[in-house]
Amino acid sequence: MKIRKCRVTLCCFVLGLLVMIMACISSKERIETFHRQALVWDCHNDLSYRVLYEKLDIGQRLPAGHVDIPRLKEGGVDVQTVALFIQNFLYPDQCARQARQLQAAMLKMIEQNSDQVELARTGSDIERIVAAGKIAIPLAIEGGHAIENSLENLREFHRQGVSSMTLTHNVTHDWADSGADEPRWGGLNELGREVVPESNLESSIQLLPEDQVRLSNDPKKTEIFRDAGLGLFIHWGPNSQVGSEISWPLNNASKEYIEKYYALAETFNPIKFDAAEWARLAKLAGMEYVVFTTKHHDGFCMFDTKYSQFKITNTPYAKDIVAQVAEAFRKEGLLVGFYYSPGDFRYHYETGVPQQGLMTPAFESEVSFGPEQKSFLAYEQGHVEELLTRYGDIFMLWFDGKCEPLKKHAWRIRQDVFIGRGEIPTPEQRIPGKAADHAWESCMTTSWQWSYQPHPDLRTSKEVILNLVKIRARGGNMLLNVGPKPDGRISDPDEAILRDLGLWMMMYGEAVREVRPWTVTNESDVWLTQKKNGEYSTLYAVTDFSYDEEGTSRQPFSGRRFTLKSVKATEQTEVSILGQSGTCQWHQDEKGLHITAFNQHTVQIIAYPGNNPEFKQRAWNWGPDWPVAIKITKVKPIMR
């Protein structure tokens, strides 16, 4: 009996061993075969393709975006589970446009092969589609959404017994920045991984050869910039906790003060920061682009850079703010721009290299700095690489100081990135006296300080609007600055000005969007812009109704007669107040085009502004008493 019992146990053991070996073989074999099966790559990056096809030794590289299922099959890939990530906006090596092409190509391929393949949006989709004997293609589209989805899919692969994956560099970074609730790398450790060596990152940033780079802005981008016309400038940092100006308190400061200034980063925790709310407000204000301070003169980085420890991810807040700003503003359809200060006080503070001035970059300094121990120039060029390759399609960079080597490096990475300050005139807090038919931009604060100030001495909304009109009439852009509060919210005074601007742009935005200067910028206090359309022009005359040509103050809700000597009307000409129904009277004679306009659009109730005693007792009036825009179609200039 006992012998019999030993024999049975032995058999079981051997059997078990066999099964184990079998299983090992199969799982090893399975892993091996699977290695060829489940490949996770973000297909907008050619590098991933190269990896894919080299692994699958499918010979020549297929054009990006063209996922050729039959070829994969040929290559022995069981395309049961091919995960594709098209992170269109988060990671455009080249630019978002390429990502969109990939997306379109992929969706078309799936449509054309719907009997064989099907889009899988969630893990459970994969199961259903595979069960139906079709190919499941998990496709994630929207930025943040992409992250969760991909993590979800990977968990699904895991549930399906997949034990290893090939992951290219981009995907890994993606998780790092996603802010997904998964602790960093958490998802990956769980699944085991083989990552293309970090060093590949550098190689994946293709730099245009020095002799091929065009050292000027892309003409198309320049037109887009000039059409955009109005942008939001944002100065923000740990200094906002004490309402001082950003960086400048370090100038001529005592060692003790510098220590205290830099210690502010240890308590910076903007828990009420909501980039989406900022973006919605900017959009409402009629803004078309944003320029956000990624690093100001104090050297504090609002992004998760590997080139410096003095960064937002080393504060109690610990999340990449630039990533959130880029994604949120892009989602609202605004163009994303990054402000960058070449002057870096922190470099000098840590290395002891003397600084020639807060805004003066030490490009010649070879003293190593930061975790990567880079020279000054390599440190800042590293930043430019990160800013242009890790946050989606970046429309413009704004270098606040000498920047030749950085500008060149930026154009070698992204030839079509638009450079604001550093390449175009950017007058600060003032408006040049005459029009210019090239790109320029006037940056202005809502008060006088760039970053948050508890008791700001504010500009009026009317002043901000009039500045915008004058800047547009002279062919420039206005970059209006706000300084968010330390908790992350836009301050009430700044929000009030943005909402006022939003109301004005809702009524009269057409007069400042996609316009260029007229032959004259203004005739007395009537400011002129034009929209070029073929032989004739559509002219916009923007003027204040609350006083007449003699400067006598009048109640804004009234009429205005004025004459334009530079304009020749045609039979088809129509004159109307933008946003108001009906048309205005006009006639043309040798003296010019005479217009009479009555403001009847009851938009806002305001206190009676006039000093006409007859009205004093009424004490309210229809307003707002902001400049009014009049549209004059089908006109020609009178050339004097």
Q: Residues in the site for ligand FHN, rule: CB under 6 A?
A: 235, 246, 359, 400, 428, 443, 450
Q: Which is nearer to ligand FHN, 310 or 504 (CB)?
A: 310
Cβ pair 630, 576 in contact under 8 A = yes
Cβ pair 476, 441 in contact under 8 A = yes
Residue with tokens 């906002």: 240
Least CB distance to ligand FHN at residue 172 (A): 34
Q: Which is nearer to ligand FHN, 235 or 474 (CB)?
A: 235
| Neighbouring-strand partners of residue 442 | 478
Helix (H, G, I), strand (E, B) or coil at 247: coil
Least CB distance to ligand FHN at residue 334 (A): 19
Least CB distance to ligand FHN at residue 28 (A): 59
Q: Which is nearer to ligand FHN, 360 or 521 (CB)?
A: 360
Cβ pair 286, 509 in contact under 8 A = yes
Q: Which is nearer to ligand FHN, 13 or 448 (CB)?
A: 448
Distance CA 461, CA 505 (A): 12
User: Which residues touch 100 (CB under 8 Å, ≥6 apart)?
Assistant: 88
Distance CA 639, CA 226 (A): 25
Least CB distance to ligand FHN at residue 449 (A): 9
Residue 392: CA atoms inside 13 Å, Cβ hemisphere, count? 25
Between CA 203 and CA 24, with CA 152 as vertex, the angle to 5 degrees is 80
Q: Which is nearer to ligand FHN, 400 or 494 (CB)?
A: 400
Q: Which is nearer to ligand FHN, 220 or 430 (CB)?
A: 430
Least CB distance to ligand FHN at residue 428 (A): 5
Helix (H, G, I), strand (E, B) or coil at 25: helix
Distance CA 518, CA 410 (A): 34
Least CB distance to ligand FHN at residue 433 (A): 20
Q: Which is nearer to ligand FHN, 421 or 474 (CB)?
A: 421
Query: Nearest to ligand FHN by Cβ — which residue?
Result: 450
Distance CA 401, CA 298 (A): 13
Q: Which is nearer to ligand FHN, 79 or 480 (CB)?
A: 480
Least CB distance to ligand FHN at residue 443 (A): 5
Least CB distance to ligand FHN at residue 237 (A): 10
Buried b (16+ CB within 10 A) or exposed e, 305-319: bebbebbbbebebee
Cβ pair 250, 467 in contact under 8 A = no
| Neighbouring-strand partners of residue 84 | 41, 139
Least CB distance to ligand FHN at residue 400 (A): 5
Residue 67: CA atoms inside 13 Å, Cβ hemisphere, count? 33
Q: Which is nearer to ligand FHN, 42 or 400 (CB)?
A: 400
Cβ pair 343, 349 in contact under 8 A = no
Distance CA 111, CA 120 (A): 13
